[in-house]
């Protein structure tokens, strides 16, 4: 049983690396997906978020993540309130997944803010996916993000150096998808040679 944190800056290619690990046999959990589930319509977190932030965060009965994001990105108190709803749910889901692992299984936990939350001690190993700034910006522009939003997101995250410092494995994602896959396979093989 091995629990591995997979991190990297926005636009570095974490999700594609996570997909490749999943195809190789890892159980992959995405912290961002858990955070979204924590406030989905019908959940206790949804009710709490609406009671704290009001109906202005709703769009067709669902939480408008962009509207909510704009509120919490500018207001630390609001951010802490949202984290108070989301983080306990995410932590519970993570702990349940770890508890259900069988002896020969590997869990890859995709967690963008691993360094920022000081979570590295929760993992047996940490892998970071890194990429040149120009490549990151290009990928994020293709997702429809504006340059000001990209710059703000990157500035709010830990630096490459901070992520690399705590990582056991570094994936450089500045080439093709096949090159990324080869790096993932090499790490997977080294994890299972022991």
User: Which tens digit of pLDDT belongs to each residue from 82-99?
Assistant: 999 999 999 999 999 999
pLDDT above 90: percentage of residues in the chain: 87
- For residue 146, what pLDDT is reported? 92
Residue-level pLDDT at 193? 78
Q: What is the pTM of this model?
A: 0.89
Model confidence pLDDT, tens digit, residues 127-178: 999 999 999 999 999 999 999 889 988 998 999 999 999 999 999 999 999 9
Distance CA 8, CA 171 (A): 9
CA distance 186 to 32: 26
Res. 194 pLDDT band, cuts 50 70 90:
low
Query: Per residue in 25-75, pLDDT tens?
Result: 999 999 999 999 999 999 999 999 999 999 999 999 999 988 898 888 788
């Amino acid at each position: 049983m091995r629990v591995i944190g997979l991190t990297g800056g926005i636009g570095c290619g974490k999700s594609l690396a996570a997909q490749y690990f999943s195809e190789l046999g890892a159980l992959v959990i995405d912290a961002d997906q858990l955070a979204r589930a924590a406030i989905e319509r019908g959940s206790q977190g949804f009710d709490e978020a609406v009671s704290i932030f009001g109906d202005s965060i709703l769009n067709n009965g669902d939480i408008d993540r962009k509207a909510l994001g704009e509120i919490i990105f500018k207001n630390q108190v609001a951010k802490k309130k949202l984290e108070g709803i989301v983080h306990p749910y995410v932590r519970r889901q993570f702990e349940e997944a770890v508890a259900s692992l069988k002896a020969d299984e590997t869990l890859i936990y995709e967690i963008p803010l691993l360094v920022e939350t000081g979570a590295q001690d929760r993992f047996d190993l940490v892998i970071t996916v890194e990429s040149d700034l120009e490549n990151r910006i290009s990928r994020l522009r293709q997702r429809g993000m504006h340059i000001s939003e990209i710059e703000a997101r990157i500035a709010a995250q830990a630096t490459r150096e901070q992520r690399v410092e705590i990582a056991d494995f570094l994936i450089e994602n500045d080439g093709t998808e096949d090159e990324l896959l080869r790096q993932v396979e090499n790490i997977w093989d080294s994890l299972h040679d022991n």
